[in-house]
A = this chain, B = another copy of it.
Amino acid sequence: MTTEQDHGRTTATHGSRIDAYVDRYAARATGMVASEVRALFAVASRPEVVSLAGGMPYVTALPLDAVGELVAELVADRGPVALQYGSGQGDPQLREQICEVMRLEGIEAGPDDVVVTVGSQQALDLITRIFIDPGDVILAEGPSYVGALGTFAAYQAKVVHVDMDDEGLIPEALAEAIEACARAGQRVKFLYTIPNFQNPAGVTLSAERRARVLEICRRARVLVVEDNPYGLLGFDGEPMRALRAEDPDGVVYLGSFSKTLAPGFRVGWALAPHAIRDKLILAMESAVLSHSTFAQLAVGRYLETQPWREQIKAFRELYRERRDAMLDALPKFLPEGCTWTRPAGGFFVWVTLPEGLNSKAILPRAVAARVAFVPGTGFYADGQGTRQMRLSYCYPEPDRIREGVRRLGSVIEQELEVRDTFGAGAGRHRPGVDTPGPDLA
């Protein structure tokens, strides 16, 4: 990888490409390979391309004047604290505010049980660090968040996917997967699940299934890691009760301000049972000492001084309009045989192509036609997903979304013609997890 990911910059990579250290890396580093699709996404970040690939929130909708004022006041009022090291667990006041945010999803918790992390990505990294020995099993929805799969691969976990349908994770499939692992003598360390507006599938775990998933995991003594970046971004009614709300001892809950405020502060958190929290703090200190005090206090001051609930409502309305634009455009422009999910919140739609098409093979042609998406294989650890793609509607404006889907539709049409003329040529699948760029979060 060179610097393609620095959008708008291209710098020649100088020097030799021979890796003098190739015989000295750790075993875990062999799984660290740059995604094949990275270079394409560099092209996809050009303004003429409609990117339905990225998971970037629309931060332009924030009250930037107010944010500018509050960070200036933060330095004026509390500069020597904001610019100093902080505790590994995170700012105490922010942790109290985080508890207030989680209360919207039925969670009763104290600030002692919260650990502030560098985005919820770091919480994922730390929880994997303290639980996973090479070869241990993590259960995850199929498909699942590409960034989680990358982290799990970095710790040499074996990911076993559990099927979903329109109501989310299928409890019977979960129970079967746990039993199969037990029969095979495999240690299941935790279930990783995104219950709300799942990334990438866009589906939500129904209330009835939540109880059953928790019961199955409790009986099998399988910890649940509930990753919930989108829970407050539902388009209909009140937020659902978190899994953590029903089972404080069996669930580690991961939250984030990246989608409800802004990713630029990189403030996320883990809420964990006491013993796990203790280990998380030690792992946090070993990893980064502590998160940026400045970033934490800026988020805290935002929550303290700004109408954050109303801002989340504004985000919901904005993303709902974009979701509608996409769901409106898909049947118009995508050829027969394509199917997709209907998210009730969050950022993503999961599209399944007609048989014989391969989304990764289509991507270069789509980018040439000035539209980008993320191919489905990145969201599986086992090579599934060749016929799927993730479309995001969070960042482009509605007209651009429609235009993007139109362009995508005609690319797929052409692929179908090629398929019908020459037969299905399923593209090669390279094993291993595609590490995501940050903008694919």
Contacts and interface: CB of A to CB of B under 8 A. Distances in A.
A265 B9 CA distance: 25
A278 B21 CA distance: 12
A147 B249 CA distance: 31
B29 A130 contact: yes
Contact of A71 (B71, B147, B266, B275): B71
A368 interface: no
Residue from A32, A34, A130, A292 with most neighbouring chain B CB atoms (10 Å): A292
Contacts of A13: 112, 274
Given A20-B273, A34-B278, A274-B16, A83 B59 contact: yes
A276 to B, nearest CB: 6
| Copies assembled | 2
Contacts of A26: 129-133, 136, 155
Nearest to A60: B80
B59 A435 contact: no
B1 A278 contact: yes
A50 to B, nearest CB: 18
Interface string A171-197: 000000000000000010100000000
Interface string A213-253: 00000000101000000000000000000000000010000
Interface string A112-137: 10000011011001000111110010
Interface in A42-88: 56-57, 59-60, 62, 64-65, 67-69, 71-76, 79-88
Given A14-B112, A24-B189, 17 more contacts: A6-B87, A19-B274, A24-B131, A25-B131, A28-B133, A32-B283, A62-B83, A65-B76, A68-B71, A81-B264, A87-B439, A121-B287, A147-B285, A266-B289, A282-B435, A289-B438, A292-B295
